[in-house]
Amino acid sequence: MTDTDRNPDNFCYRHPDRQSFIICQRCGRTVCSECQTQAAVGVHCPECVRDAQQSAPRVKPAAVTRIRSSMRPSSGVPVVTYSLIGINLALYLATWVSGGALYQALAYWPPLTASEPWRMITSAFMHSPSSILHILFNMFSLFIFGPIIENLVGRGRFIALYLLAAFGGSVGVLLLSPGSVVVGASGAIFGLLGAFFVIQRRLGGNSMQLLIVVGLNLVLGFIVPGVAWQAHLGGLIVGAGVAAIYTATRRRQQRTVQTLAVAGVALALVVTTIVAVAL
């Protein structure tokens, strides 16, 4: 973790161990997802909400339900994120040990979709043995964004988001570049970027810098040879869509609706895959 990451301004003033980049629109203090209360504009911290209630007891506060009202924070270490990084690194080493056999068994090649559909997911845990920068860049991105999103949505929702984004990346390749052989977590990583954008916008944060990062990476995918921009695009769309479901069904009584909606995304990807293979 860099010195910038440890800047106290980037951590919740009530929970110093929780990183956040959202500030109270009234007092300017950094607040984590648990301490945020959505207001008409941006979010407010607990103290500002309480002060507003005390100063105008007869008026209903402008604050509305928090995004995390039905999403309990993942306390402690971001287990899912670190587990995903560990699996990717272990498989990368195993690829070298196996002399490339593991790469051949788990990489995604669209013509094999009907007979070996699991490759659409397993390929997201494989990386090119010819370039260590491939896995280093993806794992660094996962290390940066994974803990933030995992804490925001919870571990179960995070793993569902990650796997569906990875699946969406493979569907993007199937539809837009059916002759390509692809590996890498880029589709899932772009899914996290899309999800982070949606959640940040819902919380009232400034998303301009993130938009620039995503835009540059998408453009590089078109310019740099060997980059599967199709997977980036597919993962981005699915990740943003799943995050939109999370934010729209955040209340406790909407859990069933949320589960069904996320299952609907998975079903839509499966149906798209079946139709694309059949054509």
Catalytic residues: 186, 232
Q: Which of 92, 243, 228 is nearest to 162 (CA)?
A: 243
Give CA–CA dist 123/168, Å, rounded. 12
- Burial 76-104, CB ≥16 within 10 A → b, else e: eebebbeebbeebeebbeebeeeeeebbe
**3 state SS of 185:** coil
Beta bridge partners of 182: 108
Give CA–CA dist 144/180, Å, rounded. 29
Which residues have C-beta within 8 Å of that of residue 186, sequence separation ≥ 6?
A: 138, 169, 227, 228, 231, 232, 235
Give CA–CA dist 79/119, Å, rounded. 24
- Burial 185-216, CB ≥16 within 10 A → b, else e: bbbbbbbbbbbbbbbbebbbbeeeebeeebee
**Angle made by CA atoms 90, 158, 273, in degrees to the nearest 5:** 80
**Angle made by CA atoms 184, 186, 191, in degrees to the nearest 5:** 135
Helices 229-248 and 155-176 meet at what angle, rounded to 10?
140
Contact assessment for residue 179 and residue 230, using Cβ atoms and an 8 Å cutoff = no
